[in-house]
């Protein structure tokens, strides 16, 4: 489905009825990535209206023609949410860059947000300042791994902790497919210029709603330490830090992800 906000076209998918879950994907990804992570699972989603939004320049949402900043993204998405659900309370769920946006939306729409789920979220915008982890202990299905091209082997070894047929096929279906569709020049300009959000960084707001945070101990993209250092702003946080997970937490450890998210969402039923 498509809507227009501030003259910008935004694509979204809505599934089910009930308490709204606003779900945001990571940079270069799309709604399908998050739908596979949440819909095609054992998570009991009855009683929740899941709204997956393609961020501008990704999926089926074209790049916006507004000032290309993360603050613009946060304000635009906040208006999209207002159009879609009005003043209803909602839970915001964000993965990676979507987790960074979720933090900003929670600040702007603090009166409406009753829950926050951050999956391997960006905390420090500047990549060189992040306390990144390293991939040091991998679980590899060698019988499958040897069937891959040398290029694929090198790519997976640099990015993933759990490497087997399922995780590799999901990576291609969810990540590689979406990345190929993204507006690279638009997103590169965003990342290189004004990726940092003043809405987030200049705010001292305490997130007093319940929060669920997923972190990978071997996350070499955003790490986990920076989020732990920010927990003083999340006094009601539940944190899952898994040793055998990288930045692809829900892909590598689906059972833990689904069980924890399912149990956490039950508090709202």
The per-residue pLDDT for range 218-243, each reduced to its tens digit, is 999 999 999 999 999 999 999 999 99
Q: Indicate the pLDDT class of residue 212, thresholds 50, 70 and 90.
A: very high
pLDDT score recorded for residue 90: 98
Q: Sort strands 90-95 and 162-163 into parallel, antiparallel or unpaired.
A: unpaired
Q: Is there a domain that residue 179 lies in?
A: no
Residue 237: inside a domain: yes
User: Is 148 among the domain residues?
Assistant: no
Helix or strand (DSSP H, E) at 158: helix 150-159
pLDDT at 216: 98
Does position 193 have pLDDT exceeding 90, yes or no? no
Evaluate whether 139 touches 162 at the Cβ level (below 8 Å).
yes
Parallel, antiparallel, or unpaired: how do β-strands 210-216 and 113-119 relate?
parallel
Over residues 22-39, the mean pLDDT reads: 97
Mean pLDDT of 202-219: 96
194 is a domain residue: yes
Q: What is the pLDDT, as a whole number, of residue 60?
A: 97
- Encoded tokens for 82: 């207002």
Condensed to tens digits (0 to 9), the pLDDT of residues 115-169 reads 999 999 999 999 999 999 999 999 999 999 999 999 999 999 999 999 999 999 9
Determine, yes or no, domain membership for 49.
yes
Domain interval for residue 215: 2-134+184-268
* Cβ 55 vs Cβ 73: under 8 Å: yes
Mean pLDDT, residues 239-267? 96
Strand partners, 117: 93, 212
Per the domain annotation, does 159 fall within a domain? no
In a domain, residue 124? The reply is: yes
- In the chain, helix, strand, coil percent, each to 5? 40, 20, 35
- Report the domain count for the chain: 1
pLDDT reading at 269 higher than 90: no
Q: Note the pLDDT of residue 65.
A: 95
Confidence of residue 49 (pLDDT cuts 50, 70, 90): very high
Q: What is the CATH number of the domain that holds 234?
A: 3.40.50.1820
* Position 167 in a domain: no
State mean pLDDT over 166-174. 94
């Amino acid at each position: 489905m498509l809507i227009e906000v501030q003259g910008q076209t935004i694509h979204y998918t809505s599934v089910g009825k009930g308490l709204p879950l606003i779900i945001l994907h990571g940079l270069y990804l799309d709604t399908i990535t998050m739908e596979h992570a949440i819909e095609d699972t054992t998570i009991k989603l009855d009683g929740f209206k899941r709204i997956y939004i393609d961020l501008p320049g990704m999926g089926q949402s074209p790049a916006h023609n507004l000032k290309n900043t993360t603050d613009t993204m946060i304000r635009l998405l906040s208006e999209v949410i207002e159009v879609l659900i009005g003043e209803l309370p909602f839970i915001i769920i964000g993965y990676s860059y979507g987790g960074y946006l979720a933090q900003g939306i929670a600040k702007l729409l603090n009166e409406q947000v009753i829950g926050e789920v951050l999956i391997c979220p960006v905390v420090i915008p500047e990549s060189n300042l992040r306390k990144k982890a390293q991939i040091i202990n991998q679980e590899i299905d060698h019988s499958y791994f040897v069937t891959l091209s040398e290029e694929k082997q090198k790519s997976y070894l640099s990015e993933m902790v759990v490497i087997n047929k399922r995780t590799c096929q999901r990576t291609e279906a969810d990540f590689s497919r979406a990345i190929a569709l993204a507006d690279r020049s638009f997103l590169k300009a965003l990342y290189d210029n004004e990726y940092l959000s003043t809405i987030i960084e200049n705010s001292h707001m305490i997130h007093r709603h319940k929060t669920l945070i997923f972190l990978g101990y071997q996350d070499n993209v955003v790490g986990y330490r920076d989020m732990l250092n920010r927990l003083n702003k999340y006094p009601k946080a539940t944190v899952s830090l898994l040793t055998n997970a990288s930045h692809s937490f829900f892909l590598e450890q689906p059972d833990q992800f689904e069980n924890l998210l399912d149990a956490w969402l039950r508090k709202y039923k």
